[in-house]
Chains A and B, each alone.
Chain A
Amino acid sequence: MTTNGHLEKKKLDSPPATIRFKIQRREREGAAAYWETFELKYRRNLNVISALMEIRKEPVTVEGKKTTPPVWDMSCLEQVCGICTMVIDGKVRQSCSALVDDLLVASGSDTITLAPMSKFPNVRDLKVDRSQMFEHLKKVEAWIELDGSYSLGPGPQISNEVAQERYAFSRCMTCGCCLEACPQYGDDNYIGPQAIAQARLFNMHPVGAITKEERLNGLLGDDGIGNCGNAQNCVQVCPMSVPLTKAIYETNRDITVDALFGWLKK
């Protein structure tokens, strides 16, 4: 149904009295995974995080067994820090912005399933270690080279169009959804769309472009951009709508141009 051209969300008409959370547990990295289910009274306006907070207070399974509190990461709760990412009803996303009503409407079930991301070391329960994503940013030198942070006046004039295009790339919060969804990513064999988009962000900047080749070089190795299988899953799951496939396309084009004409500069 539309009003004034915008889509109104489907509402949960007859909410259940209770809802269940089926959570994948793991005591520590390397230990076996198992499942536990918790039951909560239904309330309006619950999101997955507030449900987890309630479960954490007095963790008792649906069978009445006292257990340890599920562990997960959370910080901003506004879908801008990226830390609370997990797999919810089979879909990778942030747990802060996963509203219980929407999940129940989408699944038609009273049970919500929570699992950790599978492409990263599973520290415990729903918590994973994504430090490899930050390592990838080092590899593509995702920064502008400054002469120094002392006062040197403003940066270059840039059209607002370019600024907005860069802003879209710069919203990446390193959450890892794109890597979780990418069929190629895993076992260190592919650097993935996140780092490629960050290379693109800096290559688009007039000063960043000066060191463009270093960034492209970071994408030419065995784990480089050539591993992209064009499944386009990344762009579909990105919660910030970062134009990831565009970044891959444009970076590939840059690399081709570089390969064709690079020898002219030598």
Chain B
Amino acid sequence: MTSSSKIAIVGGGLAGLAAAMKIAEAGHDVDLISVVPVKRSHSVCAQGGINGAVNTKGEGDSPAKHLDDTVYGGDFLANQPPVKRMCDMAPEIIYLFDRMGVPFSRTKEGLLDFRRFGGTLHHRTAFSGASTGQQLLYALDEQVRKFEVGGKVTKYEGWEMLSLVLDDHQVCRGLIAMNLQTLELKAFAADAVIMATGGPGLVFGKSTNSQTCTGSAAAACYVQGARYANGEFIQVHPTSIPGEDKLRLMSESARGEGGRVWVPKADGDTRNPRDIPENERWYFLEEKYPAYGNLVPRDIATREIFQVCLEGHGVAGENQVYLDLTHIDAETLTRKLGAILEIYEMFVGDDPRYVPMRIFPGVHYSMGGLWVDFEQRTNIPGLFAAGECDYSIHGANRLGANSLVSCVYGGFVAAPSAIEYAKNVERGNTETNGIHEAELNRQQALNDAIINSTGGENQYKLHDELGKVMTDNVTVVRYNDRLQATDDKIRELQERFGKISINDSNLWATQAVPHARQLKNMLELARVITLGALNRNESRGAHYKPDFPDRDDENFMKSTIAEYAAEAPVLSYEPIDVSLVEPRKRDYSSKKKA
């Protein structure tokens, strides 16, 4: 009789690997399921850095200030106790990564260097060039590989989770996943399951997210009874590079290192930006927000850029503004921002050290996600969630460089929480009483239905239509009539989904079946996002309705909770714990009064 538990983790990004490391270190066994080799997870795309009030710059920074910046930047929609716990843990998280050998940028004394990021006046962001997420992910990947060699972690890379295995009491007993090469389904029995599957950017078609960020696994949990919270809070990043296949992120660190956002004062000015004199440029963020300038929180920067373009002031009359670094010397730029400047140069062809970048807002991050309590437990016993796929930390708007720290924090809390649960769970005869096989058969039937469907609809075209309607109506500015029309459209797409014909007769390593499964789940999530937005008649953080321009704490300082029902998500509202920082109005035009 062994005392070690078996815990399945879905997702091998920062949150999943953080949890895997902690569980293996505690002597328990991990099955790690990931659609891609974990080292290729979306965490690699995080660029700017990781926040923690280490206070090495003599600025009097503290975890209490980090807490205040985070809940204030999040426009008072996050429960505050877990945010406090994260901010308290943040310095030791950064130190741990330092011990793991992450090549953080350093000061002359050889200490960790910190840069400024949006929504704070402190140097609080540790960074590794401009590819911090990649570096942090690799550090955890290395540690988890050591546990893999030691036999405590078993990786299933190239497997996609399809559903949970729930017993008669709605207790999670494992999951079903599909091998993406053979389409074989396998039941993974587990004492506990941790979801660490990231965000749902692909619901919007094009976003800054990786192609793996469909939200499909989290949506599958929702459909099986997990509560989904604050789905309507989608962060649109102010600075992305529009592309045919995706919107590539231009990190906030570009502004953290002094980048300035502007448009020519004269509309439709077609001069080379370098020939436009200083007094003929409109630095609209600096003008409107003198204290924070270009480093106002993302939701505010995004709306300002969007509005400037909507009013016809965009560069060359188009949906673009300049993000200008050319006043900073090229050597400094290369050293501090090299990786992201290369991305711009690679995809646009201009060198941002000499030519101002042209950028526009793009869907970037979901503040909402699976509902969890303060120990990362979902409402389904035995099911936990961590990272972007949980809703707990960022409220109505996430501050830059808080995502990496929240992923690791979530993993570090979910791990002991899952171990504690697993220790006490009655296994009974759940592994032999047929529930795993029954769920596997149910999933196989769903696959067979997709493979045999012959209605003629094209799954990729349906996905394009979904992305367009969501981007047009459920991003920066939201109107109730358009949100209602969007939900109607999603239901139409759901109906048409029933008539798709997959266009791949070779099922070996096909992308068509997995994509169809993802699309079905994305449509469910799209309804949660859209109807959550429709029902929230206020403006808060990333959620902005011109018809309801003010924050309404009395009615809406509450988490939106969506529960699945066949006709439509059932929405309810849960009060927020604001016991630590008293809610106040956000104002970034002057230094904030804490």
Which residues of chain A have a CB within 8 Å of any CB of chain B? Answer: 3-7, 9, 11, 27-28, 43, 45-47, 49-50, 53, 56-59, 68-69, 71, 73-83, 96-97, 99, 123-124, 127, 130-131, 134, 137-138, 141-146, 148-149, 151-155, 157-160, 163-164, 166-167, 170-171, 173-174, 201-202, 205, 207-208
Question: Contacts of B148 on A, CB cut-off 8 Å?
Answer: 138
Give the secondary structure class of A's interface: loop
Quick one: closest B residue to A76, CB to CB? Answer: B210
Among candidates B106, B145, B458, residue contacting A134 with C-beta atoms closer than 8 Å: B145
B245 & A47 in contact (Cβ 8 Å cutoff)? yes
7 additional contacts (CB under 8 A) given A160-B106, A170-B103: A3-B354, A9-B349, A69-B512, A144-B142, A151-B95, A155-B101, A173-B40
Question: Contacts of B157 on A, CB cut-off 8 Å?
Answer: 131
B134 & A171 in contact (Cβ 8 Å cutoff)? yes
Contact of B37 with A by CB under 8 A:
yes
A78 & B45 in contact (Cβ 8 Å cutoff)? yes
Question: Contacts of A205 on B, CB cut-off 8 Å?
Answer: 101
- B123-151 interface mask toward A, CB cutoff 8 Å, 1 = contact, 0 = none? 00000110100110010001101101100
Q: How far is the CA of A142 from the CA of B145 in the complex (A)?
A: 9
Among candidates B110, B131, B142, B461, residue contacting A160 with C-beta atoms closer than 8 Å: B110
Task: Name 10 interchain pairs, CB-CB below 8 A, sorted by A.
Answer: A76-B45, A76-B211, A124-B509, A127-B509, A151-B95, A152-B95, A154-B99, A155-B98, A155-B99, A167-B103
Contact of B460 with A by CB under 8 A:
yes
B135 & A170 in contact (Cβ 8 Å cutoff)? yes
- B86-127 interface mask toward A, CB cutoff 8 Å, 1 = contact, 0 = none? 000000100110111111111111111100000000000000
Quick one: closest B residue to A45, CB to CB? Answer: B244
A123 & B181 in contact (Cβ 8 Å cutoff)? yes
- Distance of B21 from chain A, by nearest CB (Å): 6
Say whether, besides A6-B354, A160-B106, A78 and B343 are in contact (CB < 8 Å): yes
Q: How far is the CA of A56 from the CA of B135 in the complex (A)?
A: 33
Contact of B353 with A by CB under 8 A:
yes
Pick the most buried of B41, B42, B248, B349: most chain A CB atoms within 10 A of its CB: B349
Question: Contacts of A99 on B, CB cut-off 8 Å?
Answer: 347, 349
Question: Contacts of B461 on A, CB cut-off 8 Å?
Answer: 57
Among candidates A74, A138, A151, A159, residue contacting B211 with C-beta atoms closer than 8 Å: A74
A158 & B106 in contact (Cβ 8 Å cutoff)? yes
Say whether, besides A50-B245, A96-B245, A163-B104, A27 and B96 are in contact (CB < 8 Å): no
A134 & B134 in contact (Cβ 8 Å cutoff)? no
Contact of B520 with A by CB under 8 A:
no
Say whether, besides A76-B45, A154-B98, A148 and B25 are in contact (CB < 8 Å): yes
Contact of B451 with A by CB under 8 A:
no
Number of interface residues of B (CB under 8 A): 75
A137 & B145 in contact (Cβ 8 Å cutoff)? yes
Give the 7 A-B CB pairs with smallest separation, nearest first: A157-B110, A143-B142, A155-B98, A50-B244, A50-B245, A167-B103, A124-B509
Contact of B3 with A by CB under 8 A:
no
Question: Contacts of B212 on A, CB cut-off 8 Å?
Answer: 75
- Distance of B257 from chain A, by nearest CB (Å): 16
B244 & A43 in contact (Cβ 8 Å cutoff)? yes
Q: How far is the CA of A50 from the CA of B243 in the complex (A)?
A: 9
Pick the most buried of B131, B245, B504: most chain A CB atoms within 10 A of its CB: B245
Contact of B154 with A by CB under 8 A:
no
A77 & B100 in contact (Cβ 8 Å cutoff)? no
B95 & A153 in contact (Cβ 8 Å cutoff)? yes
Say whether, besides A137-B145, A167-B135, A174 and B39 are in contact (CB < 8 Å): yes
Among candidates B113, B503, B510, residue contacting A58 with C-beta atoms closer than 8 Å: B503
Quick one: closest A residue to B340, CB to CB? Answer: A78
- Distance of A214 from chain B, by nearest CB (Å): 12
Q: How far is the CA of A5 from the CA of B354 in the complex (A)?
A: 9
Contact of B489 with A by CB under 8 A:
no
A49 & B143 in contact (Cβ 8 Å cutoff)? no
Say whether, besides A75-B42, A134-B145, A142-B142, A158 and B110 are in contact (CB < 8 Å): yes
Quick one: closest B residue to A80, CB to CB? Answer: B44
Quick one: closest A residue to B104, CB to CB? Answer: A163
Contact of B482 with A by CB under 8 A:
no
Interface residues of B in 165-189 (CB under 8 A from A): 181
A164 & B103 in contact (Cβ 8 Å cutoff)? yes
- Distance of A61 from chain B, by nearest CB (Å): 14
Say whether, besides A77-B246, A160-B106, A4 and B354 are in contact (CB < 8 Å): yes
Contact of B22 with A by CB under 8 A:
yes
Question: Contacts of B245 on A, CB cut-off 8 Å?
Answer: 47, 49-50, 53, 77, 96
Quick one: closest B residue to A147, CB to CB? Answer: B99
Say whether, besides A50-B244, A81-B210, A160-B110, A28 and B354 are in contact (CB < 8 Å): no
Q: How far is the CA of A149 from the CA of B36 in the complex (A)?
A: 25
A69 & B504 in contact (Cβ 8 Å cutoff)? yes
B135 & A152 in contact (Cβ 8 Å cutoff)? no
Question: Contacts of B45 on A, CB cut-off 8 Å?
Answer: 76, 78, 80-81
B210 & A27 in contact (Cβ 8 Å cutoff)? no
- Distance of B356 from chain A, by nearest CB (Å): 13
Say whether, besides A75-B211, A154-B112, A171-B131, A56 and B511 are in contact (CB < 8 Å): yes
Among candidates A43, A141, A152, residue contacting B99 with C-beta atoms closer than 8 Å: A152
A6 & B351 in contact (Cβ 8 Å cutoff)? yes
- Distance of B235 from chain A, by nearest CB (Å): 18
Q: How far is the CA of A173 from the CA of B509 in the complex (A)?
A: 23
